Structure 1
Amino acid sequence: MTKLILPIELATEIEPNLPSDTKFVRVDSDGNFDGDPSDAEVYLNGFKLKPTTLHKVLETAPKIRWQQTPSAGVNHILTPTFLEHDIILTNGAGVHAIPISEFVLSLILYHAKQLRELQASHDQHDWRKSWLVLPELANSTVLILGTGNIGKAIASRLKAFGTRVWGGRRRPEALPNFDKIVGQNEWHALLPEVDYLVVATPLTPETKALIDEEVLRSLPNHGYLINVGRGAVVDESALTKALTEGWIGGAALDTVSIEPLPPESPLWSLPNLLITPHTSAISPALKERIATLFLDNLARFRNGQPLRNIVNKQAGY
């Protein structure tokens, strides 16, 4: 028999499909249980897991051997307290690739086709179009930092527009839909030729403030930055300076260092910056994909088979 801890927000998708010889307790976002979790071996955490909730679960359920998170990023889980425990951690890599890649395409098109300006003209009942020059994506260059499931999905969609797609990753290797992939730090030399810089990397000690003043100054003045990774990968003070002084053409952030972003944050008022509330992964199919991955891994766990998406806790992803 295997006992599980399931988050309330995913219980409906998972419980009807569990093997008959499993038991479970539910946990809410604050770490409150509807039963006794002390003998649970498996923990599926919920969305936006708070460190206080994680630590409460670990203290109350000391027999956990495997934890799965629905997120791709795990920086919020790899706390010193978690790392003291011998727990296998698996993530949700792959379940977000479709909605996030579609979102990135929408952000690129939003900027290229000047939809903000067109909406303003609409609102003003202004038919004039002599000022409009709408760039094409064909023959533009997109550099994607992070070529995992999300980066690959972005690349496959970009190729349909005839773009040049470059990638940056720690260990370069040829991948479908990428015209060029370079290794760690080698991508800096490509920046002057990049029209769109897409950040899809996990947050690790190596990637914190990766997009700094040097990177932003190296982009052409029409370059556009998109971050769908983690907020702290972008140095927000450097970005503020870049947008205020016009080093680059604009930016779109689906994630920021402090979430939710306070209403008084100066980021909201920066020119040519679009902020969205960490919503790029949200999709009607998301919970079903999370459940499918978890149930497959649960079967593997019970049968002693290798789990999918095991996180290297030292590397941070």
Structure 2
Amino acid sequence: MKVILPVELADDIEPLLPSDITSVRVDPDGNFDGDPSGAEVYLNGFRVKNTTLHKVLAAAPTIRWQHTPSSGVNHILTPTFLSHDIILTNSSGVHAIPIAEFVLNFMLYHAKNVRELQDLQTNHYWNKWLELQELYEKTLLLIGTGNIGQEIALRAKAFGMQIWGSRRNPEPLANFDKIVGANEWKALLPEADYIVIATPLTPETKGLINAETLRLMRPTAYLINIARGAIVDENALLTALREGWIAGAGLDIFESEPLPPESPFWSLPNAFITPHCSALTPQVRSRIVKLFIDNLTSYRNKEKLRNVVNKNVGY
């Protein structure tokens, strides 16, 4: 069997491959270090480009299973990909711990007024009476209660927060005080202190956070997006932050990345901008490798694969 591996993960994976499996490396631009023809398995790289994906599919039309190191798959479900009969699996779950920790970082940054504290240090100014807030008894609304949402809820509950969640099929989950259906979360916005977007990008969720929903939030509310940029109408969010519809936002993801230097988001005093890095830890890399190797064993044994994506719903 032949597998195609991205150069950024090949060094970790190749020593773990069985002796009867050969590998061909592909770089981020779709250039191979060998002959990809006849390959049956493809592990794409981080943030794979459409052009690279399509080059691989054209060079190896025999691919039957593709795995992606990301949780989101919207960038993979192109018409070209969908025209092939390929099982797609994702890495849902491997990023949940670091992203959940990062969400707590965003909330504490806001509650403890870290930006102002840093300014005080820069200016060598002692202001003991700076107003700080607690997370205790604040209400957190998680739009999306999958692996990431559940890890966030676990950590937020330890701070004594009230946890609400929204999911397509509402059902009780540990650490959640309330879970509503996918169409009911808007009614909760006026009562939420922190709103975290943790849902996949699909045609249904694109532009989910818009002027209408931002207007429903409290002026003291804080929005956090660690999912996909296109879930938020960025022009509406800019207006909301500039005009004080909401108190602020923690944004690790944007529709266009890298965020251009001229973007007004960089200069907003009530926006905490991070470069899509919330999941980047060494442990995540190890989890991705283990998941792929485990699934490769299952694939060879014709057993059920973990994290098979429903291409019709987008996750």
Please name the residue that 1:109 is paired with. 108
User: CA shift at 1:12, angstroms?
Assistant: 1.4
- What are the equivalent positions in structure 2 for 1:276-287 lying under 5 Å apart? 276-287=274-285
Please name the residue that 2:295 is paired with. 297
User: CA shift at 1:287, angstroms?
Assistant: 1.4
Contact 1:230 1:255 in 2 (8 A): yes
Q: TM-score of the superposition, structure 2-length normalised? A: 0.99
User: For the residues of structure 2 that align with 1:146 and 1:15, how far apart are their CA atoms?
Assistant: 35
User: CA shift at 1:289, angstroms?
Assistant: 0.6
Please name the residue that 1:12 is paired with. 11
Code of the residue aligned with 2:84 in structure 1: it is: H
| Unaligned ranges ≥5, structure 2 | none
Code of the residue aligned with 2:138 in structure 1: it is: S
> Could you tell me which of 248, 273, 285 is aligned with 2:246?
248
User: For the residues of structure 2 that align with 1:262 and 1:184, how far apart are their CA atoms?
Assistant: 33
- Residues 31-64 of structure 1 show CA distances to partners (whole Å, capped at 9, x for unaligned) of 1111111100000001110000000000000000
SS of corresponding position for 1:285: helix
User: For the residues of structure 2 that align with 1:284 and 1:309, how far apart are their CA atoms?
Assistant: 21
User: CA shift at 1:129, angstroms?
Assistant: 2.3
Please name the residue that 1:313 is paired with. 311
SS of corresponding position for 1:25: strand
Contact 1:43 1:68 in 2 (8 A): yes
Is residue 216 of structure 1 aligned with residue 214 of structure 2?
yes
Question: How many positions carry a matched residue from both structures?
Answer: 315
Structure 1's consecutive aligned runs of 4 or more residues displaced over 3 angstroms after TM superposition are none
User: CA shift at 1:124, angstroms?
Assistant: 0.6
Please name the residue that 1:260 is paired with. 258
SS of corresponding position for 1:197: strand
- Residues 167-189 of structure 1 show CA distances to partners (whole Å, capped at 9, x for unaligned) of 01111011111111100120111
User: CA shift at 1:267, angstroms?
Assistant: 1.9
- Residues 216-262 of structure 1 show CA distances to partners (whole Å, capped at 9, x for unaligned) of 11111100000000000011011011111101000011000100111
SS of corresponding position for 2:4: strand
User: CA shift at 1:270, angstroms?
Assistant: 2.5
- Residues 77-121 of structure 1 show CA distances to partners (whole Å, capped at 9, x for unaligned) of 000000000000000101101110000000100000000000001
User: For the residues of structure 1 that align with 2:230 and 2:65, how far apart are their CA atoms?
Assistant: 27
User: CA shift at 1:157, angstroms?
Assistant: 0.5
User: For the residues of structure 1 that align with 2:29 and 2:274, how far apart are their CA atoms?
Assistant: 26
Please name the residue that 1:172 is paired with. 170
Code of the residue aligned with 2:187 in structure 1: it is: A
Q: TM-score of the superposition, structure 1-length normalised? A: 0.98
User: For the residues of structure 1 that align with 2:263 and 2:120, how far apart are their CA atoms?
Assistant: 28
Is residue 204 of structure 1 aligned with residue 220 of structure 2?
no
User: CA shift at 1:269, angstroms?
Assistant: 2.1
Contact 1:13 1:287 in 2 (8 A): no
User: For the residues of structure 2 that align with 1:146 and 1:18, how far apart are their CA atoms?
Assistant: 35
SS of corresponding position for 1:89: strand
Please name the residue that 1:274 is paired with. 272
- Residues 133-190 of structure 1 show CA distances to partners (whole Å, capped at 9, x for unaligned) of 2111110000011111111110000011000011011110111111111001201111
Please name the residue that 1:239 is paired with. 237
Code of the residue aligned with 1:288 in structure 2: it is: S
% identical equivalent positions: 67
| Unaligned ranges ≥5, structure 1 | none
Code of the residue aligned with 1:107 in structure 2: it is: F
- Residues 283-305 of structure 1 show CA distances to partners (whole Å, capped at 9, x for unaligned) of 01121110000000000000011
- What are the equivalent positions in structure 2 for 1:78-93 lying under 5 Å apart? 78-93=77-92
Code of the residue aligned with 1:104 in structure 2: it is: V
- Residues 193-229 of structure 1 show CA distances to partners (whole Å, capped at 9, x for unaligned) of 1000000111100000100111111111100000000
- What are the equivalent positions in structure 2 for 1:178-197 lying under 5 Å apart? 178-197=176-195
User: For the residues of structure 1 that align with 2:76 and 2:310, how far apart are their CA atoms?
Assistant: 12
User: For the residues of structure 2 that align with 1:222 and 1:25, how far apart are their CA atoms?
Assistant: 53
Code of the residue aligned with 1:127 in structure 2: it is: W
